[in-house]
Amino acid sequence: MIVDLNSRYGLNPAHSEVVAACKVIEPCNMLDMGCSSGRNALYLSQLRFNVTAIDINPSAVDMLKNIILEEKIANIKSYIYDMNTASLDEDYGFISCTVTLMFIDPTRVNSVIADMHARTSPGGYNLIVCAMNTDEHPCPAPFPFTFKAGQLRDAYKGWKMIKYNEDVGTMHNGAKLQFATLLAQKPN
Ligand SMILES: C[S@@+](CC[C@H](N)C(=O)[O-])C[C@H]1O[C@@H](n2cnc3c(N)ncnc32)[C@H](O)[C@@H]1O
């Protein structure tokens, strides 16, 4: 039986793109980059993924670790990690990075994506959702990094594009902006 751990710990439901990706991707070793307090990690663990959940924020990681202990969850490990270092040291069948790339150092984004590519197993998947800044929809928030039109798609040349769009979305405060959403599969 799947228990709604997100509600139990006051977390939002998993990101809708993570939920959608799990309809395509079989359970495997997966990495949640910028996991915050674990809303996606908890969901994925209940679907039998082996989750590594990493974030730069120690209190977010502590909260997730407390949930892991409290619920005796065996298939999530979580630790503090600065994505700007682009220094992953394991391979994964699925790497997910939802609404997080826009917070990192813009000069490190290419290295971070290259590291994600290198650490994805052949046939494995990357999911990225990130804010954009375009002429049609200037980004209303002062994120350090935003994608330009087509930029994220171009970073995945040679991968099978399962999903790609640059749809307009709404932030918590109601402001409108475009998000680049990509689910892509690495060639075998
Ligand atoms: C808006 S939250 C998104 C959390 C989660 N991915 C989700 O979908 O709910 C962004 C997260 O990125 C983390 N973050 C920001 N900069 C980071 C960095 N350099 N390395 C790792 N995590 C970072 C923040 O601590 C925060 O938890």
Beta-strand runs (E) in 7-119: 29-33, 50-55, 76-80, 92-98
Compute the distance from residue 74 Cα to the ligand 1 centre, in Å: 23
Compute the distance from residue 134 Cα to the ligand 1 centre, in Å: 23
3-state secondary structure of 165: strand
pLDDT of res. 174: 87
Instruction: Quickly list H helices, 119-156.
Output: 151-154
Compute the distance from residue 137 Cα to the ligand 1 centre, in Å: 23
Atom 7 of ligand 1 has which residue's CA nearest to it?
98
Q: Per-residue pLDDT for 140 more than 70?
A: yes
Place of tokens 């682009």: 86
| Per-residue pLDDT tens digits for 78-134 | 999 999 999 999 999 999 999 999 999 999 999 999 999 999 999 999 999 999 999
> C-alpha distances in angstroms, 29 versus 13, 70, 96, 125?
21, 22, 11, 11
| pTM for the predicted model, two decimal places | 0.97
Q: Per-residue pLDDT for 1 more than 70?
A: no
> Ligand 1 test: best mutation among 37, 54, 81, 103, most atoms within 8 Å of CB?
103
Contact 39/6 with Cβ under 8 angstroms? Answer: yes
Backbone angles phi, psi at 154, to 5 degrees: -65, -30
Query: What is the pairing mode between strands 50-55 and 76-80?
Result: parallel
Atom 14 of ligand 1 has which residue's CA nearest to it?
34
pLDDT of res. 99: 96
Compute the distance from residue 102 Cα to the ligand 1 centre, in Å: 9
| Per-residue pLDDT tens digits for 29-75 | 999 999 999 999 999 999 999 999 999 999 999 999 999 999 999 99
pLDDT of res. 170: 86
Atom 8 of ligand 1 has which residue's CA nearest to it?
98
Compute the distance from residue 79 Cα to the ligand 1 centre, in Å: 13
Atom 1 of ligand 1 has which residue's CA nearest to it?
99
User: Which of 69, 33, 24 has the alpha carbon at shortest distance from 51?
Assistant: 33
